[in-house]
Structure 1
């Protein structure tokens, strides 16, 4: 996987030109609304100590409303990039089940987004999951890949580190859990 990433130039880090110490500049803009007729699928993954990998997916429409979300814990351990890929896979799989045709998939993992944009090939677990994701994309009329900073992916990031506490998969469509309502309401003020 490392060789594939090095060949694909996935490990680039863009730094802000105005930062005196060379650190990347991050501006809190809040979640950005997708184009008309698109839904945005924000994804994130996090490690649940002693449990596994937590994945969260939040789907919002072009008005900023949460349409559905998914939270799951998988009994896995390993590379964080593979966990992020799992979040992307689960997000587009659920989007397909909901009948969405135009999606923007947004993640804070530049490695995954760049690999998907390039349609990277290889034989590692990372590449096999990429193949599965790209195959699923055939069920959509339009798929856009978007990298965002952590501070602009607050809802998915927060929930990936909060819900759920046990191995399993939960999907909410009509009523969001109270903790998520608080995070979404805070983030919506920044739209």
Structure 2
């Protein structure tokens, strides 16, 4: 089972929502990171976001997305899905962030209980996230 964490912020950095998603599959790390980005894109589209910047702490995946790297591996098939999903947004860009600035998503990926499905918080974020939300914002602004 893999866990995925997603955080959505507005242009000023205010947290709009957070999600924890558990999938009944096991993937190698690069595929997990790619799947996490795709899930984040799907959630952002569901929430009606149109102008988006997707951030990930997995630099090789961000670089491959930006380059639209060709290939026929499982990784490249996920990249193709990501490229197609960009059509759901009027403005879509990519950014690599250091792992220290992505702690909220990391924690959300490991939220217990480890059951399949997703949990989305629109407000009243869990206590364990509140300090991390502020700390990630400060690290990513500086």
Gaps of 5+ in 1: 1-51
**In structure 1, how many angstroms separate the alpha carbons of the residues matched to 2:59 and 2:136?**
22
Can you list the C-alpha shifts for 1:112-140, whole angstroms capped at 9, x where unaligned? 10110011122111111111111110111
Matching of residue 53 in structure 1 with residue 6 in structure 2? no
- Partner of 1:77, secondary structure, is coil
Matching of residue 151 in structure 1 with residue 75 in structure 2? no
**In structure 1, how many angstroms separate the alpha carbons of the residues matched to 2:77 and 2:128?**
34
Task: Spell out structure 1 runs of 4+ moving beyond 6 A.
Answer: none
The structure that is helix-richer by fraction is: 2
Deviates more, 1:53-62 or 1:163-172: 163-172
**What TM-score, normalized by structure 2, do the two folds share?**
0.89
Can you list the C-alpha shifts for 1:136-176, whole angstroms capped at 9, x where unaligned? 10111111111111012121122223345222211222332
Q: Pick from 69, 75, 81 the counterpart of residue 132 of structure 1.
A: 81
Matching of residue 83 in structure 1 with residue 32 in structure 2? yes
Residue 116 of structure 1: aligned partner: 65
Q: Indicate the structure (1 or 2) with the bigger Cα radius of gyration.
A: 1
Q: CA RMSD in A?
A: 1.7
**What TM-score, normalized by structure 1, do the two folds share?**
0.67
How many residues are paired up?
140
Residue 45 of structure 1: aligned partner: none
Task: Give the superposition deviation at 1:188.
Answer: 4.3
Task: Note if contact 2:102-2:136 (Cα within 8 Å) is conserved in structure 1.
Answer: no
| Structure having greater relative contact order (Cα 8 Å, sep ≥ 6) | 2
Residue 107 of structure 1: aligned partner: 56
